[in-house]
Amino acid sequence: MAERNPNDARDAKVFALYAQLVEIEERLIPTGLHVFGRASSAGEKIDLLKMIASFDRPEAGVRALPENLVDEAVREFVRSGRDAAVRLLEQKGLSAEETRPAFTLLETVSAKLQTNNELDSLVRALRGEFIEPGPGADIIQNPDILPTGRNTHAINPYGVPSAAAFARSEAIANSLLDRYRQENGRYPEAMALVLWGLDNIKTQGEGVAQALWLLGTRPVRDTLNRTTNVEAIPLPELGRPRIDVVMTVSGIFRDLFSPTVQLLDKAVRLVAQLDEPFESNYVRKHVLQQVEQEACDQDDAAVRVFSNAPGNYGTNVNFMVMESQWEREETLGDLFVTRKCFAYGRDSKGRAIEGREARVAMDRALARVEATYQNIDTFEIGLTDVDHYFEYLGGVSKAVEKRAKSRPAIYLSDTLSRDVKIRTLEETVRLETRAKTLNPKWYEGMLKHGFRGVAEIENHVSNTFGWSATADAVDDWIYSEVANTFLFDESMLERLRDLNPHSAHSLVQRLLEANGRGYWDVDESVVNRLREIGRNLEDQLEGVA
Ligand code: BEZ
Ligand code: MG
């Protein structure tokens, strides 16, 4: 063997660092809020077109433009049009036949971005007039959502998961299991998945398809081409064990995807009945063990699809966190179960289970979980933009921690980059923080909106705090850098104070809470400085009142 160069280790570190910097640099972020009725600016348009041109779209006969040329080619397209851009890439050795379809797509998208019917449509809607329908989706995944200002329609649940979503999800499920195996040396026996309605609309059911893959099943269509059944993928073909999957679905998912809820429940019950060894079928293993050890009915032991009680929505974990109305973290997980312990599906005698309270069954299923997971599939909303990710994924993870007596591995997929990527929660929080909250391009974009912009910054920090409360997934440096960037920089503090002293005060309070609850270990002098800033803001607010 060749002798190891002493610089190899150093080079590997430098390359790893480089890869991380590129990851942050390439992350697409919203640089400001959408202004109702306003078309995109030139800069926003170039960024969007670049992303749109970065994906293969076999259904439209469009190949992605090469990563190293996409910036130059899209700029040329915006400057001089389609033919000029095709010629530029021809000079770089790419044939016109290959690249023209991409620019033809960009031409259509570009024209639609120019128009904005939102205000007109609103006025027409208020007059009770007809509004043209259009699909609801992520703009990069489905540019057909343009022009905006149409009446968003959803999906046919019997079409879910689409063939494309199912095919695409195999790699995601495999990457997820590979990541767990890298860290734990074996497959997880059970996982908890969060499924949302809007996400499965946007992706035609990628989240659903991932659950089916983990179970080792595939959808089957009936004579009317409706996805109403599932079949097991034979073990030799699957090449790995079937994973037990506990699904917590949102109220919106339950309402929009009623046939899909049935499909998922059917998949679990099918797998539980297969005559396969326990080491290849964790669903069967867990169900039969529970039946034997707890004198439990097989129907009850196979309940895996949970949501709110009929007519109810949400976990309320976000409200509890935001209002600081809790003492111990486990309360957050318990609240999640209280809200979500209603079973859906159909038992072996064909009787519908429609939101039957099943707290014991849920406690039992969560007690086996070793990893939790949610699919992130939008370019617009991430972990710290809204409080819903931590209420769901954080909530279920905290519930698992108490019931399994061990914190689960927590993962998110990223279908935002060219390659499917699985990240741990901690990695995703760091990436979101660097790409958004602490990124001047992001916060300056927000601050252009004045009062609302400061509220957005404060929201991001509070949502980040939600990940401390539910999953202890936030590094100390994140809170320190938030304080340095927004509060210990005199001129920034002055801007926040002038634009929105209420949110500036809430930001200080949230950081103090992070320290008080033990999530941010920092020198007492820093805490004192924050307290002083907080007192000054209170004085100012009282002066205003
Ligand atoms: C959903 O699409 O199911 C959903 C949206 C926002 C919050 C929670 C769930
Ligand atoms: Mg910590």
**466-510 pLDDT tens trace:** 999 999 999 999 999 999 999 999 999 999 999 999 999 999 999
Could you check whether the bond before residue 161 is cis, i.e. omega within 30 degrees of 0? yes
pLDDT band per the 50, 70, 90 thresholds, residue 98: very high
User: What order of strands is seen across the sheet that includes strand 305-307?
Assistant: 352-357, 342-346, 305-307, 244-249, 190-195, 371-376, 409-414, 421-424
Please tell me the predicted confidence (pLDDT) of residue 417: 60
Distance 193 CA to ligand 1 centre (A): 14
Among residues 44, 199, 227, which one has the least CA distance to residue 136? 199
CB 22 within 8 A of CB 16: no
pLDDT digit string, tens, across residues 279-298: 999 999 999 999 999 989 99
pLDDT at position 55 is: 85
Q: Is 196 in the pocket of ligand 1 (CB under 6 A)?
A: yes
160 in contact with ligand 1, CB cutoff 6 A:
no
- Nearest ligand 1 atom to the CA of 314 is 8
Q: 43 pLDDT band (50/70/90 cuts)?
A: confident
Query: Over the stretch 127-183, which tens digit does the pLDDT of each residue have?
Result: 999 999 888 777 787 788 899 899 887 678 998 999 888 998 999 999 999 999 999
Ligand with smallest separation from the Cα of 469: 2
Q: Dig out the tokens for 460 from the structure.
A: 């991001």
Query: Which pLDDT band, with edges at 50, 70 and 90, does 265 fall under?
Result: very high
**Residue minimizing CA distance to atom 4 of ligand 1:** 196
Burial 78-102 (b: 16+ CB within 10 A, else e): beeebeebbebbeeeebeeeebbeb
At which residue do the structure tokens 């809200």 appear? 339
DSSP character for 57? B
The vertex-383 CA angle with 377 and 385, nearest 5°, equals 100
308 Cβ closer than 6 Å to some ligand 1 atom: no
- Spacing, Cα 21 to ligand 2 middle (Å): 23
Q: Name the least confident of 44-58, 251-265, 311-325, 327-341.
A: 44-58
Residue type, 442: W
Residue 257 has pLDDT above 70, yes or no: yes
pLDDT digit string, tens, across residues 424-481: 999 999 999 999 999 999 999 999 999 999 999 999 999 999 999 999 999 999 999 9
Asked if residue 155 has its Cβ within 6 Å of ligand 1, the reply is: no
In the reported structure, the alpha carbon of residue 417 is separated from the centroid of ligand 2 by a whole-number distance in angstroms of 28
Tallying the residues shown for the chain, one arrives at: 545
36 or 194, higher pLDDT: 194
CA distance 238 to 505: 54
Which pLDDT score is estimated for 38?
A: 87
Comparison of pLDDT for 28 and 289, the residue scoring more: 289
pLDDT band of 543, cuts 50, 70, 90: confident
Q: Which of 45-49, 313-317, 522-526, 529-533 has the lowest mean pLDDT?
A: 45-49
Query: 184-231, pLDDT tens digit by residue?
Result: 999 999 999 999 998 898 888 999 999 999 999 999 999 988 999 999
Does any ligand 1 atom lie closer than 6 A to the CB of residue 390?
A: no
Ligand 1 contacts CB of residue 197 (under 6 A): yes
Q: Reply yes or no on whether the pLDDT at 519 is more than 90.
A: yes
Cα distances (angstroms) measured from residue 154 to each of 135, 195, 314, 386: 6, 16, 20, 22
pLDDT of 3 = 59
Share of the chain above pLDDT 70, in %: 97
Contact 140, 52 (CB under 8 A): yes
Residue 91 has pLDDT above 60, yes or no: yes
Ligand 1 mutation pick, 252, 376, 392, max ligand atoms within 8 A of CB: 252
Task: State the chain's mean pLDDT as an integer.
Answer: 93
The answer to whether 250 and 208 have CB atoms below 8 angstroms apart is: no
> Is the minimum distance from the CB of 252 to ligand 1 under 6 angstroms?
yes
Average pLDDT over residues 356-365: 97
Q: Give kind and range of the element (H or E) at residue 12.
A: helix 7-26
The pLDDT assigned to 24 comes to 85
Amino acid type, 346: R
